Amino acid sequence: MKVIIRKNSAESSLWTAHYIAAKINEKAARTDEPFVIGLCTGSTPIETYAELIRMVKAGEVSFKNVISFNMDEYVGLPESHPESYHSFMHKYLFDHIDEPAGNIHILNGNAPDPVKECEDYEKAIVAAGGFDLFLGGIGEDGHIAFNEPFSSLESRTRVVTLTQDTREVNSRFFDNDPEKVPAQAMSVGVATVLSAKEVVIMAYGSKKARAIAAAIEGPMSHYCTVSALQAHPAGTIVCDEAAVGELKVNSYRYFKAVEAAEAK
Ligand code: GLP
């Protein structure tokens, strides 16, 4: 696992956007096959998406041959609801880039047969060729996508029940009323994320510090599902200084030293 540490979320987001663009460009230079990416929602990716939008407009990267799959969606929330992940993705990314509409995949939280919807999603990911890169954020309890504590680290796309903690944290988008946050969601599984050739996780702010310390220094555990990244051969966590505030000093120095050595 690599840990990239930047001063603040703005610098971390620039690093992430430029890294993703470089990966898209690198694949486009060697093959006509599409670049398949997993995408996330939340406040964390907003600045990264803003930089990717700028880069698309400046001609520095194109999403014309990118296929995306979002990691999760609430169950039962209308797609047109301002807090649906459909609305979020269009507002903060898809409406401003050149990714063809047919390449965009987001789970349908209102599907008449939710089990089939989740199974079909996994099949569509495989049909697209599998993920080149999965971009994710984390919850305060270390959940990745909506893989709450005690989710199987072998899980695949399915319907999940949100914890009360997550509903309380996410209630800031629902009039501060946890009861208005849907009780369930559809989410890719931990194993779906780890099936990607590469995983990049972003975490900013002191509220993520405990989860980041558990993910990096703690044991791999279903209690903190992002810790499963420890078993991935190409996992990167991008943090601001606040999010690494609970790491041991020696861990912090190690990751800084690795980055400095690789930059030479
Ligand atoms: C939700 C999403 C996660 C996201 C998390 C963190 O729970 N399901 O995918 O990582 O929120 O959100 P934020 O980036 O706003 O802290």
Which residue has a Cα nearest atom 9 of ligand 1?
145
Q: Ligand 1 centroid to 106 CA: how many Å?
A: 16
Burial letters 151-186, b for 16+ CB under 10 A, else e: bebebbbbbbebbeebbebbeeebeeebeebbebbb
pLDDT at 264: 85
Do 189 and 222 meet the contact criterion of CB atoms below 8 Å apart?
Answer: no
Res. 188 pLDDT band, cuts 50 70 90:
very high
Best mutation site among 143, 162, 208 for ligand 1 pocket (most ligand atoms within 8 Å of CB): 143
pLDDT at 111: 98
Digit-coded pLDDT (tens) for 153-186: 999 999 999 999 999 999 999 999 999 999 999 9
The residue ranges of DSSP E strands in 71-181, in sequence order, are 72-74, 104-105, 133-136, 158-161
Pair type for strands 199-203 and 235-240: parallel
pTM higher than the cut 0.95 = yes
Please state the atom number of ligand 1 nearest to the C-alpha of residue 136.
10
Q: Cα separation of 97 and 239, whole Å?
A: 26
Indicate the SS3 state at residue 35.
strand
Pair type for strands 104-105 and 66-70: parallel
pLDDT at 218: 97
Degrees, nearest 5: CA angle 9-10-13: 80
Catalytic center residues: 72, 141, 143, 148
Query: What lines the ligand 1 site, CB under 6 Å?
Result: 40-44, 71-72, 137-139, 145-146, 166, 170
Pair type for strands 184-187 and 72-74: antiparallel
Count of residues in the chain? 264
Q: What number is the average pLDDT over the span 257-261?
A: 95
Res. 120 pLDDT band, cuts 50 70 90:
very high
